[in-house]
Amino acid sequence: MIDYRIKAKRGSSEKIGELMSMLEHTRAVTLEELKGLRQEDLDYLADEGANTIGALLLHIASIEFVHQVISFENRDLNKAEFQKWKTALELGEPARSTIRDYPLEYYLNELAQVRQQTIIQLEKYDDDWLMEEEQWENGVPNNNYYLWFHVLEDEINHRGQIRSIKRLLSKR
pLDDT, position 9 = 78
Burial class (CB in 10 A: 0-12, 13-18, 19+), 75: exposed
**CA distances in angstroms from 132 to 71, 92, 97, 147, 151, listed in the order given:** 10, 34, 40, 11, 17
Q: Which of 52, 155, 142 is nearest to 98 (CA)?
A: 52
Mean pLDDT in runs of 10 for the chain (172 residues)? 84 94 96 96 94 98 97 95 97 95 97 97 96 91 96 98 94 80
pLDDT, position 15 = 95
Q: Which of 28, 44, 40 is nearest to 161 (CA)?
A: 44
User: What CATH number does the domain located at 14-170 have?
Assistant: 1.20.120.450
CA-to-CA distance for 125 and 129, rounded, in angstroms? 6
pLDDT, position 37 = 96
E-assigned strands of the chain?
Answer: 133-135, 141-143
The ranges assigned to domains in the chain are: 14-170
* pTM flag (> 0.85): yes
